[in-house]
Amino acid sequence: MNQSLKIADKIFSSRLFTGTGKFSSTKVMEETILASGSELVTVALKRVAHQHIENDQLLAHLNHAHIHLLPNTSGVRTAKEAIYAAELAREALETNWLKLEIHPDPKYLMPDPIETLAAAAALVKLGFTVLPYCHADPVLCKRLEEAGVAAVMPLGAPIGSNQGLTTLTMLEIIIQQSTIPVIIDAGIGKPSQAAQAMEMGADAVLINTALATAHDPKAMAIAFKQAVEAGRLAYELGGLAPVNNHHAVASSPLTSFLNTI
Amino acid sequence: MLFTEVFNRYQWDKEHASIYAKTAEEVIRALSRHSRTWEDFKALISPAAFPFLEQMAQLSQRETQKRFGKTIQLYAPLYLSNECQNICTYCGFSLDNKIPRKTLTALEILQEIAVLKEMGYEHVLLVTGEAQQLVGMDYFKQMLPLIKKHFAHIALEVQPLDEEDYVTLHRLGVNTVLVYQETYHQEDYKLHHPKGKKSNFNYRLETPDRLGRAGIHKIGLGALLGLDDWRTDSAFTALHLQYLEKQYWQSRFSISFPRLRPHAGGLEPKTVINDAELVQLICAWRLFNGEVELSMSTRESETFRDHIIKLGITSISAGSKTNPGGYAVAPQSLEQFEIDDSRSPAEIATVIQKAGYEPVWKDWDPSLQTI
């Protein structure tokens, strides 16, 4: 059993966060999310019929006591648009939680660091619990932390690319420096990559494409669940077996002078 | 969040016991990692790591060169005053020591500076005791503009101050502030600091927090090794550093290794850290943190200093005087602590060069610190 994870005022026993896009049906989506054990699920405001929330099919399939919704601002291109979308999401989904996503570029969906930082600072002041999607940029993550966000969500690789932790070196620095939870978002394509992220100390991972587009999303959700748990366990135990380093010992030892003092 | 909150989650006795229970297997594991945890640090300073000293030294040298290259920075202390309102059982300037007290005037400071400049110094460490009325903020405000003109880098080792004072000092050109906790053993701290402002353990413990908040570029930490169990004190110093690095990510940090040694009439150390153990400690620090600066004073012997420059140390003092006026004004006055290595800065520079390293005299510029 892994240690629980606290983000802002909520406690999660699962460190696998999921999304709702790209599934073949809302039914498959629901089964997959339930199989994953995920307790935090991100929903794009653009997908929700926020004016008639009671009739929304997507939300109907997410109506489980253990599942918290994390509305996201996917589609906005500026801080101003993000703040407006956040207000709408807060009203429609009755949660202060927000995954802040600002990607003005429609091809790679790269997050805009400048707009994201500005929006994060403003949204924190407006009382939101902000989880920004951002580049694996250690300084940006510290600046977001100073702006008061509840966690950072640096990318492992371009979103939807399933390439794994191509930003590994930067993620390690981010994890090492952060005083708030670090959730690796975007790019994780395989359970082994999720395990790798957890082994190195990530607090959680967010997986969507790798589940939604798997041959059997429900089975893949179980595989990811186990991978996340295994990776976390290895991290918590902190006792990976030693890697066999063959350090050559110099012919003139550095400490022999101690015999002469 | 302040360090006291983190500190209060730990118990001295428990950490002490866990360090002494570390096994060779845990040391091997710590050595094999590419980034090391606080528990690894505890293993590396434990008695179980002692047989691995040579391997630690090799790794420490490699790690240090990776970050700092083959360079050693030189600095000199400039004692401005030995006035002190504190009683510290181990210190020559303690209030209860009947010694002539002196605070340098502006003119005398200039005389001292002339000698340091002649030696080639650009990095200076200003030192005082704690006497708020005589050597408080008013004195610093008056003297710093005078001193600043002559040096590229100013460090301060004075009494702990409030956050706003540090902001002011930073504006006046102070780049680095050193505040040693002396010991993280709360009860023994009180025994060694029975009187004066220094007796407030928590105020001292939170000083690096105030420095970080005030935007001081570099913060120096350390424990007086031997005042209590040096291993446990070092473990708490490492915990402190680990916390500060995360909290004040724009600050740099340095660690010093003053050790209390048995001498006639002086305070008996509770535990003695010998030369080999000091090497072990320095290497453990480097293996725990590749970026932290490690500093060595002239308290240590010539042989020790000659060899330690290759093992992880990044800055070193030379030709130091630890009495106010020691360079020019009053060379015969009482020193704060005894100097073991009295060779001149030029001699030390030659030693550094012979070891294959470059002595660095200037590694900062006041123009980089204008706001």
> In this structure, what are the phi and psi dihedrals at residue B59, rounded to the nearest 5 degrees?
-65, -40
In the predicted structure, residue A245 carries a pLDDT above the cut 70: no
The residue behind tokens 């913060």 is B219
Which chain A residues touch B31 with a CB distance below 8 Å? 242, 245
Tokens of B165: 């004072």
Which chain A residues touch B35 with a CB distance below 8 Å? 172, 176
- Summarize pLDDT for A174-194 with one digit per residue, the tens: 999 999 999 999 999 999 999
Comparing alpha-carbon positions, the chain A residue that sits nearest to B309 is A254
Q: Which of A26-40, A52-66, A154-168, B179-193 has the lowest mean pLDDT?
A: A52-66
In the predicted structure, residue B342 carries a pLDDT above the cut 90: no
Closest listed residue to residue B167, CA positions, set B196, B205, B141:
B141
Q: Which of A143-147, A242-246, B125-129, B318-322 has the lowest mean pLDDT?
A: A242-246
Q: What is the CA radius of gyration of chain A?
A: 20
Average pLDDT over residues B122-143: 94
Q: What is the pLDDT of residue A243?
A: 60
Q: What is the pLDDT of residue B25?
A: 94
Q: Which of B8-12, B131-135, B213-217, B364-368 has the lowest mean pLDDT?
A: B364-368
Q: Identify the band that residue B341 occupies on the pLDDT scale cut at 50, 70 and 90.
A: confident
- Summarize pLDDT for A215-231 with one digit per residue, the tens: 899 999 999 999 999 99
Q: What is the pLDDT of residue A122?
A: 97
Calculate how close chain A gets to B37, using CA atoms only, in Å: 9
Q: Identify the band that residue A254 occupies on the pLDDT scale cut at 50, 70 and 90.
A: confident
Q: What is the pLDDT of residue A147?
A: 97
Q: Identify the band that residue A128 occupies on the pLDDT scale cut at 50, 70 and 90.
A: very high
Tokens of A31: 């089964």
Q: Does A246 touch chain B (CB under 8 A)?
A: no
- Summarize pLDDT for B4-33 with one digit per residue, the tens: 999 999 999 999 999 999 999 999 999 998
Q: List, in order, residues 6 or more apart from B265 with CB less than 8 Å away.
A: none
Q: Identify the band that residue B120 occupies on the pLDDT scale cut at 50, 70 and 90.
A: very high
Are A258 and B246 an interchain contact pair (Cβ–Cβ within 8 Å)? no
Q: What is the pLDDT of residue A54?
A: 75
Q: Whole-number mean pLDDT of chain A? A: 90
- Summarize pLDDT for B192-225 with one digit per residue, the tens: 999 888 999 999 999 999 999 999 999 999 999 9
Q: What is the pLDDT of residue B195?
A: 86
At position B259, the amino acid (one-letter code) is: R
Are A247 and B59 an interchain contact pair (Cβ–Cβ within 8 Å)? yes
Q: What is the pLDDT of residue B127?
A: 95
Which positions of A are annotated as active-site residues? 99
Q: List, in order, residues 6 or more apart from B194 with CB less than 8 Å away.
A: B87, B89
Which chain B residues touch A258 with a CB distance below 8 Å? 275-276, 279
Which chain A residues touch B32 with a CB distance below 8 Å? 242-245
Q: Does A250 touch chain B (CB under 8 A)?
A: yes
Of the partner residues A179, A238, A248, the one whose CB lies closest to the CB of residue B246:
A179
Closest listed residue to residue B100, CA positions, set B339, B337, B330, B319:
B330
- Summarize pLDDT for B273-328 with one digit per residue, the tens: 999 999 999 999 999 999 999 999 998 999 999 999 999 999 999 999 988 999 99
- Summarize pLDDT for A95-124 with one digit per residue, the tens: 999 999 998 887 788 999 999 999 999 999
Closest listed residue to residue B233, CA positions, set B268, B203, B269:
B269
Are B29 and A239 an interchain contact pair (Cβ–Cβ within 8 Å)? yes
* ipTM, 2 dp: 0.75
Closest listed residue to residue A185, CA positions, set A240, A141, A218:
A141
Q: What is the pLDDT of residue B262?
A: 67
In the predicted structure, residue A18 carries a pLDDT above the cut 60: yes
Q: Does B89 touch chain A (CB under 8 A)?
A: no
Q: What is the pLDDT of residue B315?
A: 96
Q: What is the pLDDT of residue B34?
A: 83
Chain A residues 111-150 with CB within 8 Å of chain B = 142
Are B249 and A239 an interchain contact pair (Cβ–Cβ within 8 Å)? no
Calculate how close chain B gets to A168, using CA atoms only, in Å: 14
Comparing alpha-carbon positions, the chain B residue that sits nearest to A180 is B246
Chain B residues 337-366 with CB within 8 Å of chain A = none
Q: List, in order, residues 6 or more apart from B287 with CB less than 8 Å away.
A: B30, B31, B36, B40, B41, B44, B56, B59, B60, B63
Of the partner residues A179, A247, A257, the one whose CB lies closest to the CB of residue B307:
A257
Which chain A residues touch B37 with a CB distance below 8 Å? 238
In the predicted structure, residue A249 carries a pLDDT above the cut 70: no
Picking from B42, B50, B246 by the largest number of A CB atoms within 10 A of its own CB, the best residue to mutate is B246
Of the partner residues A142, A254, A261, the one whose CB lies closest to the CB of residue B301:
A261
Task: Report if pTM > 0.90.
Answer: no
Q: How far is CA B211 from CA A56, A224, B131, B162, B175, in A?
A: 53, 44, 20, 9, 11
Q: Distance between CA A48 and CA B186 in Å, rounded?
A: 57
In the predicted structure, residue B370 carries a pLDDT above the cut 90: no
Which chain A residues touch B53 with a CB distance below 8 Å? 255
Q: What is the pLDDT of residue A42?
A: 95
Closest listed residue to residue B256, CA positions, set B182, B173, B330, B160:
B182
Q: What is the pLDDT of residue B12?
A: 97
Are A261 and B29 an interchain contact pair (Cβ–Cβ within 8 Å)? no
The answer to whether B279 and B306 are in contact (CB under 8 A) is no
Q: Identify the band that residue A24 occupies on the pLDDT scale cut at 50, 70 and 90.
A: confident
Which chain B residues touch A178 with a CB distance below 8 Å? 246
